[in-house]
Amino acid sequence: MKRIKSVGIIGAGTMGSALAQKFAQEGFPVTIMDREDRFLQKGLSNIQSTLNEGVERRIFTPEKVEAILGRITLTTTMSDLSTCGLIIEAVFEDLAVKQDLFARLSESVPVDTIIATNTSSFSVTELSSFVSHPERFLGLHFFYHAAKNRLVEIVKGEKTNDEAFEQCMWFMQQCGKDPIVCEDANGFVVNRFFVPWLNEAVRIFEEGIAQSGDIDLIACKTFGCGMGPFALMNATGVPIAYHAQKTLQHAFGDFYKPADALKAQTDLNLQWEIPETTDLDSKIAETISERLASVVLFVCGQILDEKICTAGDISRGAGVGLQWRKTPIDLFFKYGESRVKSLTEKLSHNWKMPVPLSITQGEWIPDFVSSEIKGDVGRIIINRPEGLNAMNPLVVSQLAVAFDQLDADPDITTIILTGRGKAFVAGADIKFFIDHIKNQTIPEIVKFTTEGQALFQRIDVSTKKIVAVVNGLALGGGLELALTADVIVALNNAVFAFPETGIGIYPGLGGTQRTIDRVGTGLTKFMIYTGQMLNAKTATEIGLIDGIVTWNEIQSLPEHASKLSRKNPILSDYWQEISNYFNSKTVYNLLDNHYEIPTGMEKMISRIRTKAPIALQLSERLINDHKGPESELMYISDLFRTQDALAGLQNVGKKPPTYRGI
């Protein structure tokens, strides 16, 4: 298969136009094909409207919009798609229409063109029978709004070859999508549990248990979502929910039968009325929450039984695609195995279905870290995009297993560390810290940090060549992980920072030590004291990383990893001045309001004075002593017992608190 350098979209409707916009935004030429020019013009109008909204919100400039639109070509002629590396079918769900379309498309494009369907109803394997050379055919199921929603389900048919699959995996990531991989089954992953969630909400409503507004409110609290099921159906179309549920019923039986009220609302072509919420009785609220949760947990148990995907893919699907802060995996561990079994057994009895065998704790542990081997190169991927790949004990333990296995393999010479999604690793899981501070279980934080330190040390001293490929945010612990590598390269959009002192703590996984080896003491203090975000270009200038790479270079990296080397740039006068300044000043100097601030340093010093003083002072001590990463463990227990630490951690993403130094 050839590399994907341009995309064809068949169908200029809501999905097709959104996909065209997304790929054009990412810099790729896009050709949209539809039957009539009026459909194409309507699709283009939708794209222009969405982009203009982006200009109003200052996401795009008018010049950027003009460039995006300039990459889009409209056509009614199928042969105009022949130059595209990937063609995605996004027409309405009619099997006869798709059959005819794929037959004609097969005659119009080269055999090495990848062809994909965005179907949510039909079997990818069945559709592939209408395509010549079905090995180049697969499913790419996107979610509304496809230009904004990062999730894509990649579905291999029985004949899909690995090359077509791999090309699409890389291309989707290059375009800012977070892919999950699933087997070819009705509903794939997300719709399989999401659509029954909508349907159960309607059942609760038609049984007179609560009004739609109350059900939406409880749903939002239970799953941590911004819109409840009734509001979502109004936004995306009530008939879409009905027809999706009908499709699932046809495949899986009466449990999936659409609620009568959902059918009636579809027949009337009306949106739901959503009255203001009431003062709902707590027992009714619990009933609503448990019924919605039990349906989702039951269906996810079926998904795991059928091995459609992994528990991690369920988490990624819900967290990224649906924006649920509390994914089905989170709910399972919140309720516990015993309670989940009780809930699903009740549902099983009511619908006369077997309880999924996978309702056991071991089956629900998400795979947040994976590894693969290509020749003598091993690659470790941190894949928790719904949490920006933030590290918690599970992530660290899985990372340790993956690294230790590759490190022990005598045939592997190089290990690549990278992430998937918007982040390489966006630091440690803040909720983990907050929970243990509130529960007065600080030793768990110490244990987590100690285990992380031990793993990072093993990576640091490995005889293998370690290459960190930073694909996005590398904050706090993420930057500390990258610093264990022999060579660090990054995409142009990568961002590096130590934000810890701004949230009441200090870098505890080697940041105060390994950074010195990279950029020297002065710039280490600058980075940790200010918490300033550095882009990839700046990080290269100061020697924090060794170079900037493209997606194509990342894809072929296993073939060239042995040639990568550490760079030692000569600092510019600007950065040398900053390094010298921080080398010559103490934290006491920097925090003293009477201290004269040199011209050009005002913003930096002002930023430092918003940080937690205890964290700054301990950072200074650790940097000056430079006794190695393990020295950071000395103050962890006391630091996390300070009021500043709790205040800072609870205000991440909000206005910084006023630190009191206690």
Active-site positions read: 120, 141, 153, 191
Give dist(CA 169, CA 139) in Å, integer: 12
C-beta separation of 5 from 28 below 8 A: yes
How many CA atoms are closer than 13 Å to the CA of 561, on its beta-carbon side?
28
State the first-to-last Cα distance of the chain, in angstroms, to the nearest integer: 61
C-beta separation of 328 from 193 below 8 A: yes
* Residue from 474, 472, 459, 476 nearest 420 by CA: 472
Both tokens of residue 439?
């529960």
To 5 degrees, how large is the angle CA 420–CA 386–CA 647? Answer: 115
Both tokens of residue 530?
């200010």
Give dist(CA 19, CA 291) in Å, integer: 35
C-beta separation of 211 from 205 below 8 A: yes
Helical axes 393-407 vs 442-461, angle rounded to 10°? 20
How many CA atoms are closer than 13 Å to the CA of 403, on its beta-carbon side?
29
* Residue from 293, 349, 348, 304 nearest 326 by CA: 293
Query: What's the length of the chain?
Result: 662
Tell me the pairing of strands 114-117 and 465-470. Answer: unpaired
* Residue from 455, 550, 152, 520 nearest 321 by CA: 152
The distance of Cα 108 from the centroid of its chain, to the nearest Å, equals 36
DSSP single-letter state for residue 428: B
Is 483 exposed, middle or buried (CB count within 10 Å of its CB: 0-12, 13-18, 19+)? buried
Is 198 exposed, middle or buried (CB count within 10 Å of its CB: 0-12, 13-18, 19+)? buried
C-beta separation of 475 from 499 below 8 A: yes
Q: Provide the β-strand partners of residue 138.
A: 116, 156
Both tokens of residue 468?
């960190």
Classify the C-alpha dihedral 220-224-229-235 as positive or negative. Answer: positive
- Residues 6+ away with beta carbon under 8 Å from 521: 582, 583, 623, 624, 626
Q: CA dist 308 to 18, 163, 290, Å?
A: 27, 21, 25
* Residue from 156, 158, 152 nearest 180 by CA: 152
Both tokens of residue 302?
């079926």
C-beta separation of 470 from 482 below 8 A: yes
